[in-house]
Structure 1
């Protein structure tokens, strides 16, 4: 009899968590598993890459739930009053006051999802895969019937804002908590010591042969002959692309002919573009946008840079390692764990100066060979 498993995620945008899920699915046999993905929203370029044997469903009324849970209480109440919905305004005013009084947003989640029906199927395992994410974690725990419930932590929880009381109350109900690196697990255990017996390390699946095959395709389409620096990931503050741009400026100021290529997109891109213009290096910063196959660029670049301010387990770093490229990475959670024993890498502090120095060290090593 097949094992029934449900994974709950936000969407299938091109990102590390989503890629890790796809890799996980590729290692699972449809002869042994019946798998369903429950998404909060139907969105993302990775939607078409979900195996055909995997069933997909979508959370009902997510925008309403998201609005009520994430919007400042004052704005919600004022909007109800503007729409002359006085009873709702009074109800949510009382709810927000009670939530504040008891210091628990669990009451808010419970109230918002009160009329939301329990999921109709039963599973052997239900996995809150995008953790920590309060809505998904709570829904898996309270609204899904499963023999085993699992939380899956993909981030360094010490670097993101968390409602610790809410997380603790939810996660103590899980049967198991999987964390994507030993370092991330240690940090989780440090904040939630009473949950330590439930945590275990579960590294992201990396499909080496598939990555090497995809990497054989053509990457860069320009005729540039200088030093190609590459970073791959969602363009966001936590991924640190601004630090890499500033480090590039320092390299150019020393007379090194270099370009920085950014694979990925996101809300931080405009700030990065403005920064590169401000530093007068816009022509040396190439925004390649979202690429479902970033591997040819990894294979063809000279140095791979991972300038993240924080990670849990950096899947793009693990992928870059497959191509045996020189790597400069900041000392985010899991970096030392991933790069241990790699003599062709430099782990540096979270600053453009240290990234710059790391690149210089890599170049010096190359000259000495």
Structure 2
């Protein structure tokens, strides 16, 4: 039986985590032993990991964990002053290595200060840095595992641009997979020692459709435009922009209800902004839910106001649910929306988002046509299935 090691940080509520869960479900457990390495066993999606996957927590001391999360020495030195002499000595030792490796201009000098003297984490047939993002998982996959094949995933345009900063590390990966054509193109422009291939994230279509039948969370109101956005309440997702869009929609005389589905670090700030703009009547903060599809299924337009994405899983889910989409021109949008056919792609700009939504809603025939087109659009995953099979079965034991 072949052994695969997969690296992630946590299993928080996010598109990368959903993509991983959907990918794991496609690996036959009778043929592969899967170890999933996490910096810490936590996150809303931890319980959704298939039971045949062995979850391993990477061992670190509290100071080491803080250092790899914050990527600096000042926080751990400050913390160690309030701790025991033993902890203070550990902080000094970590800091000394950090400074030395940084002056030597080593790649990932901060991670090397923590893991540079640790033993190998294991021997595998394949190692996958699925989290990517040129962070801890990348360093560990490249340096602390022995494997006949190593793979790196790109989920974001910024990762593509940063790859050239770590040439020695990237050379240790045999396959580079980008979750959208945009990510792959950018990566290959900056670093082409190993060409990136497009590997679209898998979507669990059956699960999505089943969840829409579980419960009807609300009834649509007549003559009220229903908008839905799903995602973590964090800066990349552009919820602050969505509030400004909502403010202008009201000024345009649009009667609407917009559901923000998700939790996150910006929740309190966004609620304050919503109240300050007198939008509480129009905006509903749903919070985290394991069934966002119950909300997505009732919307007239699914809106993705993100600043950047790698491959917005929610856009693909909106396709499965046959929704008209308005999205910013983030990576992956071109795979989800045929501009003017089943939705509109605009820049991350308040006025453009407003104009897109208003132009669809106030032109009933256009909305009806786009809805008909959305009903015809199918999400194909055959290419990703071919690449996964090649990845799993093309390497010798």
Q: How does the TM-score come out when normalised to structure 1?
A: 0.90
RMSD over aligned CA atoms reads 2.4
User: 2-side partners of 1:221 and 1:12: how far apart?
Assistant: 29
- SS of structure 1 residue aligned to 2:131: strand
Corresponding residue for residue 37 of structure 2: 38
- Structure 2 contact 129–141 (Cα < 8 Å) conserved: yes
Change in 2 beyond 3 A, CA 1:137/1:319: same
- SS of structure 2 residue aligned to 1:45: coil
- SS of structure 1 residue aligned to 2:27: coil
Change in 2 beyond 3 A, CA 1:66/1:190: farther
Q: Which runs of 4+ in 1 moved over 6 A?
A: none
- SS of structure 2 residue aligned to 1:300: coil
Q: Does 1:7 align with 2:3?
A: no
User: 2:351 aligned to 332, 353, 367, which one?
Assistant: 353
Alignment length (residue pairs)? 363
User: 1:217 aligned to 199, 214, 217, which one?
Assistant: 214
Corresponding residue for residue 269 of structure 1: 267
Q: How does the TM-score come out when normalised to structure 2?
A: 0.84
Corresponding residue for residue 200 of structure 2: 203
- Structure 1 contact 220–300 (Cα < 8 Å) conserved: no
- Structure 1 contact 240–307 (Cα < 8 Å) conserved: yes
- Structure 2 contact 160–186 (Cα < 8 Å) conserved: no
User: 1:333 aligned to 325, 331, 356, which one?
Assistant: 331
User: 1-side partners of 2:40 and 2:322: how far apart?
Assistant: 37
The Cα of 1:164 is off from its aligned counterpart by 5.0
- SS of structure 2 residue aligned to 1:304: strand
Corresponding residue for residue 310 of structure 2: 312
Q: Does 1:286 align with 2:284?
A: yes
Change in 2 beyond 3 A, CA 1:268/1:219: farther
- SS of structure 2 residue aligned to 1:329: strand
Structure 1 unpaired stretches of 5+? none
The Cα of 1:258 is off from its aligned counterpart by 0.4
Provide, for residues 198-231 of structure 1, a one-character-per-residue CA deviation record: whole Å limited to 9, x for no partner. x211110112233222222324336744211000
Corresponding residue for residue 101 of structure 1: 103
- Structure 2 contact 300–323 (Cα < 8 Å) conserved: yes
Corresponding residue for residue 295 of structure 2: 297
User: 1-side partners of 2:339 and 2:220: how far apart?
Assistant: 34
Corresponding residue for residue 73 of structure 2: 73
- Structure 1 contact 157–188 (Cα < 8 Å) conserved: no
The Cα of 1:158 is off from its aligned counterpart by 6.0
